[in-house]
Amino acid sequence: MPTTATLSIVCPAYQEEEVLPLFHAALVAAVEPLTAECDLEILYVDDGSRDGTLGVIRQLAAADPRVRYLSLSRNFGHQAALTAGLEHARGDAVVSLDSDLQHPPALIPELVARWREGFDVVLTIRADDARLGWFKRVSSRVFYRVLARCSDLDVRPAASDFRLMSRAAVDGLLRLQEAHRYLRGMVQWLGFRVAEVPFRPEARRAGVSKYTLRRMVRFALDGLLSFSPAPVRVVVGAGLAVTVLSWAASVAATLALFPAAEPTARVAVVGLTALHAVGGCLLAAAGVIGEYLVRIYEQAKGRPVYVLKEGTVDAPGAVIPRPAAPHRPSRAA
């Protein structure tokens, strides 16, 4: 490990003009003690914000040579913005954290200390905290339980995208060219020596969460479908079970109900119900297969994960290489 290491701090920001100045001040104060042992680079990624976020970032970059930035051509999403930052970070270790102060910057020296101990990946584990809101807490707990059951990954419940990765881990991660990126799972898939640091999430200092219910469901689907074939198997099992039940119900109704009054009508009702149940299962099965198919289709198109508009790190329009090409992260200043 080099003695004078470079530490990169990657911060994705989408519509964060209000909170960014507060965040930057807190970040600079938190990493100040590290300046004796590390060269610092703070890399903001503007994820196609339509408010004044980019203007604030430009000012921060103009005022401090340690601040660099990227701006994406439109909103590509949190995971894509993080990928862009990791691609362009030059550090021997790279920390990523949200720029809304929910991930406390004060924890960064502790992450660096664990890296100095020899860990390549330092995860932060979010404590269950009332400030997160009950829906987020419950949905997160249920999702991680389902994911842990369905996949071979040792998925850490409550892991966040606030983490440190060594250069080796970042380079390894950047070789995974998945169109639908669930970075928490991808980092876990990598292996390496992993340390964990618990943290208590703060409430958002300003602005609003960009993870609407729709985005959360999409993110959860990316996690589940990228790391597990279990949904297809569950649907096959459910389809078979419903078929057997419907068949048994029809036979039972036919035998038991024929002697009763208006037998044909009652048998017809049971038959129709069974038909609907089987039809519903077929539709659900087609939907689950379709979800995998859409992901294969998007992967096959080989589009870049993001497109750059401007920045202090690369030529405008630079993109992640196509999946077929061996990946080399750009380090151009």
Nearest-approach distance from CB 105 to ligand UDP, in angstroms: 12
**Residue nearest ligand UDP (C-beta atom):** 209
Q: How far is CA 186 from the centre of its chain?
A: 9
Reduced to 3 states, what is the DSSP secondary structure of residue 298?
A: helix
41 binds Mg ion (CB under 5 A): no
| Residue 12 vs 91, nearer CB to ligand UDP | 12
CB 201 within 8 A of CB 158: no
- What DSSP designation does 330 have? -
Question: Interface with ligand UDP by CB under 6 A: which residues?
Answer: 12-14, 16, 47, 75, 77-78, 81, 98-100, 102, 209-211
| Residue 16 vs 222, nearer CB to Mg ion | 16
φ, ψ dihedrals at 45, nearest 5°: -120, 110
Listed ranges 28-36, 91-99, 127-135, 166-174: which one lies at the site for Mg ion (CB under 5 A): 91-99
| Residue 13 vs 235, nearer CB to Mg ion | 13
Q: Which of 87, 92, 100, 314 binds Mg ion (CB under 5 A)?
A: 100
Nearest-approach distance from CB 54 to ligand UDP, in angstroms: 12
| Residue 99 vs 226, nearer CB to Mg ion | 99
Q: How far is CA 320 from the centre of its chain?
A: 18
**Nearest Cα to Cα of residue 12 among 131, 94, 129:** 94
Termini Cα distance of the chain: 23
Nearest-approach distance from CB 241 to ligand UDP, in angstroms: 36
| Residue 23 vs 306, nearer CB to Mg ion | 23
Nearest-approach distance from CB 73 to ligand UDP, in angstroms: 13
User: Which H or E run contains 68?
Assistant: strand 67-72
φ, ψ dihedrals at 234, nearest 5°: -60, -45
| Residue 15 vs 102, nearer CB to Mg ion | 102
| Residue 91 vs 207, nearer CB to ligand UDP | 207
Size of the site for Mg ion (CB under 5 A): 3
Q: Which of the listed partners (ligand UDP, Mg ion, none) does 81 bind, with a CB threshold of 5 to 8 Å by partner kind?
A: ligand UDP
Q: Which of the listed partners (ligand UDP, Mg ion, none) does 99 bind, with a CB threshold of 5 to 8 Å by partner kind?
A: ligand UDP
Q: Would you say the C-alpha torsion 61, 65, 66, 71 has a positive or negative sign?
A: positive
Q: Which of the listed partners (ligand UDP, Mg ion, none) does 60 bind, with a CB threshold of 5 to 8 Å by partner kind?
A: none
Nearest-approach distance from CB 100 to ligand UDP, in angstroms: 5
Q: Which of residues 101-140 bind Mg ion (CB under 5 A)?
A: 102
CB 319 within 8 A of CB 307: yes
Buried b (16+ CB within 10 A) or exposed e, 2-14: eeebbbbbbbbbb
Nearest-approach distance from CB 211 to ligand UDP, in angstroms: 4
Reduced to 3 states, what is the DSSP secondary structure of residue 159?
A: strand
| Residue 79 vs 246, nearer CB to ligand UDP | 79
Q: Which two tokens stand for residue 18?
A: 């209000």
Listed ranges 41-49, 98-106, 265-273, 274-282: which one lies at the site for Mg ion (CB under 5 A): 98-106
Angle at 294 between CA 290 and CA 296, to 5 degrees: 115
Buried b (16+ CB within 10 A) or exposed e, 112-148: bebbeeebbbbbbebeeeeebeeebbeebeebbebbe
Q: Which two tokens stand for residue 241?
A: 């079970």
Q: Which of the listed partners (Mg ion, ligand UDP, none) does 92 bind, with a CB threshold of 5 to 8 Å by partner kind?
A: none
User: Which residues contact Mg ion (rule: CB under 5 A)?
Assistant: 98, 100, 102
